[in-house]
């Protein structure tokens, strides 16, 4: 699938796989500390049970998101958008696509964990219907709490 962004090269959304680990890790290093190493990205991209979607413009990977279906629960693992391309709808596009694909495979709900201070991610998830359902105290390396979020999925999601 692709869309034409105003005044720019075409954006292309595609499922990522083996061979994309370097681009994913490079993007992640721009987005958050303590990300996955190349081997972890390799495993993520090789696992057919995981869905990793990316948005590219030409050869450049601008955003990536990944999920994993466990029974009827879609687990959103991460969503990363290049700092220069934030607030242009890429994060919402990727999550919406992950959810649509999860629904098509039988998901009835989606869940994720997010740092309590990550206001951008919380706003994005909230705009898609995610609500906080639990908290893991001191879950992250820096001592921050993780919020567990849940979104009920239905035919209109």
Ligand X SMILES: CC(C)(COP(=O)(O)OP(=O)(O)OC[C@H]1O[C@@H](n2cnc3c(N)ncnc32)[C@H](O)[C@@H]1OP(=O)(O)O)[C@@H](O)C(=O)NCCC(=O)NCCS
Torsion angle defined by CA atoms of residues 14, 17, 23 and 24, in that order, rounded to the nearest 10 degrees: 90
Catalytic residue among 10, 46, 125, 139: 125
Chain-centroid distance of CA 157 in Å reads: 16
Residues 110-139 that bind ligand X (CB under 6 A): 114, 118-121, 123-124, 127
Q: Is residue 148 within 8 Å of residue 106, measured between CB atoms?
A: no
Contact status: 55 vs ligand X (CB under 6 A): no
Residues 84-103 that bind ligand X (CB under 6 A): 86-92
Q: Which is nearer to ligand X, 32 or 105 (CB)?
A: 32
Strand (E) or helix (H) holding 5: none
Nearest to 121 by CA among 62, 44, 65: 65
Site string for ligand X, 23-42 (x = CB under 6 A): --------xx----------
| 139 is a catalytic site residue | no
| 125 is a catalytic site residue | yes
28: three-class secondary structure by DSSP: helix
For ligand X, the nearest residue by Cβ is 91
Q: Which is nearer to ligand X, 106 or 134 (CB)?
A: 134
Phi, psi at 142, each rounded to 5°: -85, 10
Contact status: 79 vs ligand X (CB under 6 A): yes
Instruction: State the minimum distance, in angstroms, from the CB of residue 73 to ligand X.
Output: 18
| Exposure on the CB side of residue 129, measured as CA atoms within 13 A | 12
Residues engaged in binding ligand X (CB under 6 A):
31-32, 78-81, 86-92, 114, 118-121, 123-124, 127
List active site positions: 113, 125
């Amino acid at each position: 699938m692709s869309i034409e962004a105003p005044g720019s090269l075409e954006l292309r959304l595609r499922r990522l796989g083996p061979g994309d680990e370097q681009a994913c890790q490079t993007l992640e290093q721009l987005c958050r500390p303590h990300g996955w190493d190349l081997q972890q990205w390799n495993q993520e991209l090789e696992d057919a049970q995981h869905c990793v979607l990316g948005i590219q413009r030409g050869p450049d990977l601008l955003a990536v998101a990944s999920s994993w279906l466990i029974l009827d629960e879609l687990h959103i693992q991460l969503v990363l958008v290049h700092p220069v391309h934030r607030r242009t709808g890429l994060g919402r596009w990727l999550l919406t696509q992950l959810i649509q694909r999860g629904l098509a495979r039988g998901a009835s709900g989606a869940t994720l964990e997010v740092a309590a201070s990550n206001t951008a991610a919380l706003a994005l998830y909230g705009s898609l219907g995610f609500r906080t359902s639990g908290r893991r105290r001191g879950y992250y390396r820096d001592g921050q709490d993780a919020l567990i979020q849940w979104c009920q999925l239905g035919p209109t999601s």
